[in-house]
Amino acid sequence: MKKISSGIGLIVYSVVYILRFFDVYFFRYPNAFGNQTLNVEYFARKVKIISRTSNPTLIGVRHYKKTRGVANHSLLEHHRRSGLKMINNKMVCCLLDIGLTFQKEQIEKKGGKIATSFLTLNIKMLETDPNIHLLSEVAFPFDTDETKIFKDILKKMSLKDRQYYIVLDRGDDYGRLKASMKNSDAVGYSYTSQHSPIEIQFKAAREMKKRNITAVKMGNQPIKEFIKSELILDYPSKYRNILGDIADLALMNDCKFYVGTTSGIYGLATSLKKPTFLCNTFPWPWNNVPMHNTSIVMPKKLWLIKEKRMMTLCELIQLEENYSMKDISFNKSILDSLSIELILNTEDEIAGGVKEINDRIDGSWCGSNYRLSSILKGHIGEVSKSYLSTYFAENNPDIMIGINPDS
């Protein structure tokens, strides 16, 4: 049976490989929201770069066991509307899946030294490839009809274009929910390490409200009743079920900027080239580096329990040399063995960062600059055009030892 499967896989792999010479490209269309946003956009931009023609054909292959389930159906329809071809037939998807599995097995056997038929990516390239993020235009822009629908959706929420920003929190319940769904303590730790409660966003929301800019919370989890605030519009509980998942696209397309951790929502912001303020980011840097010149980052602080001091940014960056992103994200024992405690960014730091990114977008920023290209020289994010938050840098001198602002 294994030989038959391998034989079929080889045939499918070969056919798909030949089709690449005719600028026809296949890839696995993902179901998870973050992958559905950023991965698909990445593949589309990449194909435009490597294609021999101005109009290549990109074909998404659904998982043959999951041809119906997808995180955001409106985004799937937008991709189709924008020219993406989709294969939903279970038999065809099954055959293509065998070919894709054959390719993966050959890559593992030969250490990556194999010509690929199906489009592939790795996390590093997905997040930080300058050809994709800095030199390419959005591959699937929304058309006039879609943006008109978006305006109507915003009107129903009493929002105006660029007069609001997106907030994404990660509460304790989110980590426990994911762990229970996958029955994994490691998964629970992974999401707990991204913990970023909504309460620390209140001061920033209050300050931005004075500028007539509204904070809008996205995501699946509504704000708990006992901490609800009129400062932040709770989109999950008030509007999402009523307006449908197309409202996710409307909100991100017309927002001024995004504030939160890395997530599926962040993937949507990145795919649309929105300015982003990554806060409470861990692990960092690894691949969690924004790329554009209007974006900033504020990593979690790491408390060295035995030494009773904060880890410096230089020391934090050095962790990247010793541990993979997967290990540091999913293996809590690593931080325990190093006697490290994760410390959240403060409400003041978040407020300072939100003011900073807003000023950078408006062109009124007159503070110092801490370019990531300088801080991360020799590391994954050295090609980034983004900045470390100046508020964070100037208010944590013990963390910034050895790092100075750019002239």
pLDDT at position 66: 64
* Residue 403, domain member (yes or no): no
Q: Verify that 105 and 164 share a domain, yes or no.
A: no
Backbone angles phi, psi at 324, to 5 degrees: -75, 160
Q: Verify that 65 and 7 share a domain, yes or no.
A: yes
Tell me which amino acid residue 327 is: D
> Where among 106, 121, 136 does a domain terminate?
121
Q: Verify that 100 and 156 share a domain, yes or no.
A: no
Q: Verify that 47 and 95 share a domain, yes or no.
A: yes
Mean pLDDT (the chain, rounded): 90
Question: In this model, does residue 181 exceed pLDDT 60?
Answer: no
Over residues 169-192, the mean pLDDT reads 52
* Residue 126, domain member (yes or no): no
Q: Is the pTM of this model over 0.85?
A: yes
Q: Verify that 175 and 62 share a domain, yes or no.
A: no
pLDDT at position 156: 97
> How far, rounded to the nearest angstrom, does the alpha carbon of residue 209 sit from its chain's CA centroid?
26
* Residue 132, domain member (yes or no): no
Question: In this model, does residue 325 exceed pLDDT 90?
Answer: no
Task: Give the tokens for residue 116.
Answer: 């690929």
Q: Verify that 14 and 111 share a domain, yes or no.
A: yes
Bridge partners (DSSP) listed for residue 61 = 28, 87
* Residue 291, domain member (yes or no): yes
Q: How does residue 67 score in pLDDT terms, banded at 50, 70 and 90?
A: low
Count, residues in the chain: 407
The secondary element (H helix, E strand) that includes residue 101 is helix 90-109
d(CA 35, CA 169): 19
Q: How does residue 107 score in pLDDT terms, banded at 50, 70 and 90?
A: confident
HSE of 386, CA atoms in CB hemisphere, 13 A: 28
pLDDT at position 68: 63
Query: Residue 358, exposed/middle/buried by CB under 10 A (0-12, 13-18, 19+)?
Result: buried
Percent residues over pLDDT 70 in the chain: 92
* Residue 407, domain member (yes or no): no
Q: How does residue 74 score in pLDDT terms, banded at 50, 70 and 90?
A: very high
* Residue 256, domain member (yes or no): yes
Q: Verify that 300 and 350 share a domain, yes or no.
A: yes
Question: In this model, does residue 114 exceed pLDDT 90?
Answer: no
Q: Verify that 187 and 53 share a domain, yes or no.
A: no
pLDDT at position 176: 45
Q: What are the pLDDT digits (tens) for 218-267?
A: 988 888 765 777 899 999 999 999 999 999 999 999 999 999 998 889 99
Q: Which residue has the tokens 């509307």?
A: 81
Question: In this model, does residue 106 exceed pLDDT 70?
Answer: yes
Question: In this model, does residue 394 exceed pLDDT 60?
Answer: yes
* Residue 220, domain member (yes or no): yes
Question: In this model, does residue 191 exceed pLDDT 60?
Answer: no
d(CA 135, CA 184): 39
Which range is least confidently modeled, 10-24, 73-87, 227-241, 321-335? 321-335
Q: Verify that 277 and 380 share a domain, yes or no.
A: yes
| Domain hosting residue 296, numbered range | 144-394
Selection from 362, 169, 164, 357 nearest residue 252 by Cα: 164
Q: How does residue 183 score in pLDDT terms, banded at 50, 70 and 90?
A: very low
- pLDDT higher at 228 or 44: 44
Backbone angles phi, psi at 244, to 5 degrees: 85, 175
Q: How far is CA 10 from CA 17, 101, 103, 106, in A?
A: 10, 10, 8, 10
Which range is least confidently modeled, 181-185, 351-355, 360-364, 389-393? 181-185
Q: How does residue 172 score in pLDDT terms, banded at 50, 70 and 90?
A: low
pLDDT at position 179: 45
- pLDDT higher at 368 or 66: 368
Over residues 27-49, the mean pLDDT reads 94
What per-residue string of b and e applies to 36-69 under the rule 16 or more CB within 10 Å gives b? bbbbbbbbbbbbbeebeeeebbbbbbbbbeebee
d(CA 374, CA 55): 38
Q: Verify that 165 and 305 share a domain, yes or no.
A: yes
Q: What are the pLDDT digits (tens) for 133-163?
A: 998 899 999 999 999 999 999 999 999 999 9
Q: Verify that 215 and 91 share a domain, yes or no.
A: no
Selection from 291, 276, 9, 271 nearest residue 128 by Cα: 291
Q: Verify that 288 and 184 share a domain, yes or no.
A: yes
What DSSP assignment string belongs to 33-95?
Answer: HHIIIIIHHHHHHHHHHH-SSSS-EEEEE--TT-SS--S-HHHHHHHHHTT-EEE--HHHHHH
Which alpha helices (DSSP H) does 273-384 contain, by range?
313-322, 325-330, 332-337, 347-362, 372-375
- pLDDT higher at 10 or 112: 10
Q: How far is CA 403 from CA 85, 337, 399, in A?
A: 48, 27, 9
> Where among 88, 121, 154 does a domain terminate?
121
Q: How does residue 56 score in pLDDT terms, banded at 50, 70 and 90?
A: very high
Cβ partners under 8 Å of residue 112, min gap 6: none
- Residue 46's region, left for phi above 0, alpha for psi from -120 to 50, else beta, is alpha
Q: Count structural domains, the chain.
A: 2
Question: In this model, does residue 184 exceed pLDDT 50?
Answer: no
What per-residue string of b and e applies to 199-236 under the rule 16 or more CB within 10 Å gives b? ebbbbbbebbeeeebbbbbbbebebeeeeebebbbbbe
Answer yes or no: are the C-beta atoms of 73 and 29 closer than 8 Å.
no
Which DSSP symbol is given to 222?
A: P
Question: In this model, does residue 177 exceed pLDDT 80?
Answer: no
* Residue 136, domain member (yes or no): no
Question: In this model, does residue 121 exceed pLDDT 90?
Answer: no
